[in-house]
Amino acid sequence: MDVNIQKVGVIGAGQMGNGIAHVSALAGYDVLLSDVSLDRCQAALATINGNMTRQVAKGNISEEDRKAALDRIKPTEKLEDLADVDIAIESAVENETVKRSIYAKLCPHLKPEAILGTNTSSISITRLAASTDRPERFIGVHFMNPVPVMELVELVRGIATEDETFDHCRKYVESVGKTVAVAEDFPAFMVNRILLPMINEAIYTLYEGVGSVEAIDTAMRLGANHPMGPLQLADFIGLDTCLSIMQVLYEGLADSKYRPCPLLVKYVEAGWLGRKTQRGFYDYRGEEPVPTR
Ligand SMILES: NC(=O)c1ccc[n+]([C@@H]2O[C@H](COP(=O)([O-])OP(=O)(O)OC[C@H]3O[C@@H](n4cnc5c(N)ncnc54)[C@H](O)[C@@H]3O)[C@@H](O)[C@H]2O)c1
């Protein structure tokens, strides 16, 4: 079954979903952006508008591009509105039960030839695919954060993913200006398999009192030439997402070296999830971020 990708559905209008909608609309695709409530979709549209306005100010896109792209994004809280999309990219929270329940509700409405992609950072594509009616047309499309800025997308085939699905996805990803890296379907794929244990180790370094938040971030910025410290990066990714990925690595690879740091668990239990909740390893409520430890 062939499909010509013109209309893109995005499920989950959080920091990643709004970025996927942003780059897709700028590349000329019609986009349906869905979340559990219209309020969340409207908040995402406001974020997209703010981010595009910054791109206009920097001279990266024109004012006409911004207006046209925003007009192409339609918000919806109803999954049935995704009936005519050519590819649906699920970017809801990193929770397998939530993702499966979205597919169960969404698939009966999708066209038979529509591709279903997931932006999961770590969950098995093969297992998620098996819960749908279209494992051949299911694929991991792993964008990086922030989507409008980061160039890489990991494409991950499940065991049943057809070459045609992969080829259409590669074309779509390249058309939104990104570069593909192909990863096999193992826990957390490539980028997060390497990145998250480093972040988790930085949290252990804090937990064991080896250094303060500021000292650890400064050490890695100036000592390893990282553009931002690992704790700042964790806040940026979202501490709940970081914890979910570590749990997937720990359970999926059955190796104690991936055990999530108890301090990470504590921050998540407190609801201090990083930038998105204004507090994580830094407190973002004032003018400047202030370390919380
Ligand atoms: N944060 C990152 O750096 C990053 C990078 C790459 C991939 N990802 C992956 O992208 C996905 C989304 O992460 P995020 O950082 O955007 O999270 P987020 O918390 O910012 O957004 C998640 C969104 O999903 C919505 N949602 C929850 N249940 C839903 C449902 N049943 N139907 C529709 N929407 C629902 C929430 O309302 C929220 O708006 C996750 O799978 C995550 O692992 C995250």
In this prediction, residue 1 carries a pLDDT of 66
Tell whether the torsion through CA atoms of 222, 244, 119 and 185 is positive or negative.
positive
Could you give the domains of the chain?
7-184 (3.40.50.720), 191-291 (1.10.1040.10)
Q: What is the band of 188 on the pLDDT scale with cuts at 50, 70, 90?
A: very high
Tell me what the pLDDT averaged over the chain comes to.
97
CA distance 272 to 286: 15
- Which residue is associated with the tokens 């979202």? 238
Query: Could you read off the pLDDT of 51-74 as tens digits, one per residue?
Result: 999 999 999 999 999 999 999 999
Ligand 1 and 158: CB distance under 6 A: no
pLDDT mean over 71-95? 97
Q: Is 274 marked as a binding-site residue?
A: no
Asked if 274 contacts 231 with a C-beta cutoff of 8 angstroms, the reply is no
pLDDT mean over 230-255? 96
Q: Is 43 marked as a binding-site residue?
A: no
In this prediction, residue 138 carries a pLDDT of 98
Q: What is the band of 43 on the pLDDT scale with cuts at 50, 70, 90?
A: very high
The number of angstroms, rounded, from the C-alpha of 217 to the middle of its chain's C-alpha atoms is 23
Number of the ligand 1 atom closest to the C-alpha atom of 17: 16
Omega before 112 within 30 of 0, i.e. cis? no
The number of angstroms, rounded, from the C-alpha of 151 to the middle of its chain's C-alpha atoms is 13
pLDDT mean over 183-188? 95
Helix axes 239-253, 230-237, angle to 10 degrees: 100
In this prediction, residue 122 carries a pLDDT of 87
3-state helix, strand, coil in the chain (%, to 5): 50, 15, 35
Q: Which residues, at least 6 apart from 99, have a Cβ–Cβ distance to it below 8 Å?
A: 90, 92, 118, 120, 123, 128
In this prediction, residue 3 carries a pLDDT of 76
pLDDT mean over 139-167? 97
Ligand 1 and 75: CB distance under 6 A: no
Please choose from 10, 94, 101, 241 the residue to mutate so as to test ligand 1's pocket, defined by most ligand atoms within 8 A of CB: 241
**What pTM was computed for the model?**
0.91
Does residue 2 surpass a pLDDT of 90?
no
Ligand 1 and 11: CB distance under 6 A: yes
Instruction: Work out the percent of the chain whose per-residue pLDDT is above 90.
Output: 98
Closest residue to atom 38 of ligand 1, CA basis = 14
Asked if 132 contacts 100 with a C-beta cutoff of 8 angstroms, the reply is no
Ligand 1 and 13: CB distance under 6 A: yes
CA distance 56 to 26: 12
Query: Could you read off the pLDDT of 215-227 as tens digits, one per residue?
Result: 999 999 999 999 9
Residues taking part in catalysis = 121, 142, 154, 192
